[in-house]
Amino acid sequence: MRKRPFLSALLFFSLFLVLANFSAKKEYQSKSGPHPRAKNIIFMVPDGMGLADVTAARIFKHGSEGDILHLETLSTIGYQRTHAADSSVTDSAAAASAWANGEKFRKGEISCHDDDQDGKCKPTPGPTILETAKEKGKSTGLVATSTVSHATPAAFGAHVSSRDCENEIARQYIQVTKVDVILGGGLNHFNSTGEQADKCGTFGNFIAEAENNGYDVVYTGQELDSALAGGSKKILGLFTPKGKTPEMFRVNPKEYYRKEEPTLPKMTAAALNVLEKDDDGFFLLVEGSQIDWANHRNDVAYQVAETLAFDHAVQVVLDWVNEKPSRRQHTLVIIAPDHETGGFAINDTGGGTYEPGDLVDGAWTTIGHTAGDVLIWSQGPGSEYLGRAVDNTDIYKVMRQVLE
């Protein structure tokens, strides 16, 4: 008999938590009065990054007792569920498509429901958040250290049944979506022959078409600098045939950038240089793609180098935002991994603390993705709705709302 009041109280408290969470989750949809508005949205994706990756990078840069990373300075922190429509463990295609469209997708689908597995979008979702920004007169950009036609950026600028249709994704960027700034690897997918047709059967010289449509096409960091100096408003930068050079292999990043490839921070700065010229604002997606690749390889040095390069790109964004009060007031910045990769954890050292320059003693549970929730850091208009437990589809809803 004595247990009944306790059980009743526990049941009431549990119900209260459920209702409170539901209320918080829906707050951005039901809140009365004017909603916050964002002129610019900058969505930054550290692909496959878990919280332990952040810790490992921070330790390497500052030691156990040192300063925090730039991404950790954003004012709002929440976390997201990442499952796909057909799996508890998502891939980048389904996760990014959920962000871009506000609904769940199967693994491998790029902003396209292919329920019959026949290669056709049925039904095709409405415009992605990037396409919505475009419809509102804003400029748009995609930046990645993978092929720029890879799954995460593709979900914002294309609709295809399979992430393996990278030639078709490249075609849609140029012919359909007409993204203003495209920077990354993937030259091979923008200029292919019939023998190099992708899973969708697409091939062609989309570089020549881009040039005819007013893009400055560049292949090196020096050419990118020249295009920026010339006041370019549309840039297609394809710096490697496939993915870009990992940061851990850049012995002298500054010199390497001057002669050949721009780093992720340099590409981010270049995209901002172009997009900020649009008085209507812009949508920019920046992906640190190879954090994921490093975790797939269970390589802590590779992982730390890519995470720190991504954090440097975050610094570039925050410096740009903070340069003018109007930018800080009207720019929504979101930093969110699409999923965690590897099940990475940091082991006990047996005593003592790490010093700057130390690589942690890390371990992984898998070479694949995991189902764990991942963090969201954000600031700016609408970020208050992301400081809680949300689904990855809710990020789209927040972005869509602040654009309206």
pLDDT tens digits, 194-227: 999 999 999 999 999 999 999 999 999 999 999 9
Q: Number of structural domains, the chain?
A: 1
The answer to whether the pTM exceeds 0.95 is: no
Pick from 7-21, 132-146, 234-248, 289-303: least confident: 7-21
pLDDT at 102: 96
Q: Is residue 13 part of a domain?
A: no
Q: Which of 14, 92, 149, 326 is catalytic?
A: 92
pLDDT at 85: 96
Q: Is residue 372 part of a domain?
A: yes
Q: Is residue 84 part of a domain?
A: yes
pLDDT at 259: 53
Q: Is residue 354 part of a domain?
A: yes
Q: Is 92 a catalytic residue?
A: yes
Q: Is residue 383 part of a domain?
A: yes
Q: Is residue 351 part of a domain?
A: yes
pLDDT at 35: 76
Q: Is residue 189 part of a domain?
A: yes
SS3 237: strand
What interhelical angle do 51-62 and 300-322 show, nearest 10? 80
The residue to which tokens 């090196």 are assigned: 220
CA distances from 108 to 47, 152, 165, 235 (A): 16, 11, 10, 28
Q: If pLDDT is split at 50, 70 and 90, which confidence band does 21 have? A: very low
Contact, 143 vs 266, CB < 8 A? no
The residue to which tokens 């250290």 are assigned: 145
Short-list 182, 120, 127, CA closest to 149: 182
Instruction: Please give the residue range of the domain that contains residue 353.
Output: 40-403
β pairing state of 235-238 and 282-288: unpaired
Q: Is residue 106 part of a domain?
A: yes
Q: State yes or no: pLDDT of 54 exceeds 50.
A: yes
pLDDT at 29: 52
Q: State yes or no: pLDDT of 293 exceeds 90.
A: yes
- CATH number of the domain within which 109 lies: 3.40.720.10
